[in-house]
Amino acid sequence: MARKPTPPGTPQATSVGHIVDLVRGAVPPLHPAGLPFVLAPLGVAVLGRNRKWVRRGALTSAAACAAFFRHPHRVPPNRVGVAVAPADGEVALVDSAVPPSELDMGTEPLPRVSIFLSVLDVHVQRSPVGGEVTKVVHRPGKFLSADLSDASEVNERNSMLLHTAEGHDVAVVQIAGLLARRIVCDAKVGDTLPIGDTYGLIRFGSRVDTYFPAGTTLLAERGQRTIGAETVIAQLP
């Protein structure tokens, strides 16, 4: 396997340091929200270390939670006027729809891209564009399967509105799913988010809808796999 090129002038790493760097590059860091879910089964593994089935079950649970809450490093594109996928997953809808009423974006349908996240996908959410957070609204609701069309309307959701430097409003909506019972949004009104910046997380299985201003060219296709912060899904007007 080819190695990542080392910039000129980089000090020679020791063998131990080189191994540590390789591990860091191969194993994604853990999102802070996942720490309790990893530490709890590890504690059970320690307490039950004399019982093989308890120890193995707890370690397996800790590993599964660590995989779910992984937070890999991503590099957004430097193209002007593009929007990136706010999440890893599969594009479920590429259409036009009325944005959530709580964002006061009007009643006219706007271009929308909907991404479905399975329990195996990375579950952190990232800002699709760079801009100022002007609204963050959480709305309680049901927990239907996130791949159903009605989920956008009736499921629990957290809606965030971003205002770009070019004057565009872009909304990104975290939608809870059948197994997702907790939406985390760290962004607050007044924050300025760079494109691709991590702002939240949904556990466990969910959907993220992005609404764009009229005149946006949608570049995503149904069934396409997206990489959060890196896959370009739209060109703003």
Q: How far apart are the C-alpha atoms of 19 and 1, rounded to whole Å?
A: 15
Mean pLDDT computed over every residue of the chain: 80
C-beta of residue 140 within 8 angstroms of C-beta of residue 175: no
Give the residue from 190, 186, 215, 220 showing the smallest Cα distance to 200: 186
Residue 5 in this model has a pLDDT that exceeds 50: no
pLDDT number for residue 194: 96
- 88-107 pLDDT, tens digit per residue, is 999 999 999 999 999 999 99
Q: Which residue has the higher pLDDT, 201 or 159?
A: 159
Residue 51 in this model has a pLDDT that exceeds 80: no
Of the listed ranges 28-32, 121-125, 162-166, the least confidently predicted one is: 28-32
Mean pLDDT of 106-133: 92
Of the listed ranges 27-41, 88-102, 107-121, 203-217, the least confidently predicted one is: 27-41
pLDDT band at 2 (very low <50, low <70, confident <90, very high): very low
For 138, the enclosing helix (H) or strand (E) is: strand 131-139
Residue 6 in this model has a pLDDT that exceeds 70: no
Lookup: tokens for 144: 């239907």
pLDDT number for residue 25: 45
Could you tell me which residues come within 8 angstroms of residue 173 by beta carbon, excluding any fewer than 6 positions away?
100, 152, 157, 158, 159, 160, 208, 209, 210, 211
Amino acid at residue number 226: T
Catalytic residue among 114, 127, 152, 206: 206
pLDDT number for residue 111: 98
pLDDT band at 28 (very low <50, low <70, confident <90, very high): low
Q: Where are the domains of the chain?
A: 26-69, 82-235
For domain 82-235, the CATH architecture is Distorted Sandwich (2.70)
pLDDT band at 50 (very low <50, low <70, confident <90, very high): confident
> Does the annotation mark 206 as catalytic?
yes
Give Cα 117 to chain centroid, integer Å: 9
- 129-183 pLDDT, tens digit per residue, is 999 999 999 988 666 555 556 656 667 889 999 999 999 999 999 988 665 557 8
pLDDT band at 184 (very low <50, low <70, confident <90, very high): confident
pLDDT band at 56 (very low <50, low <70, confident <90, very high): confident
Q: Which residue has the higher pLDDT, 206 or 60?
A: 206
Lookup: tokens for 176: 């809870």
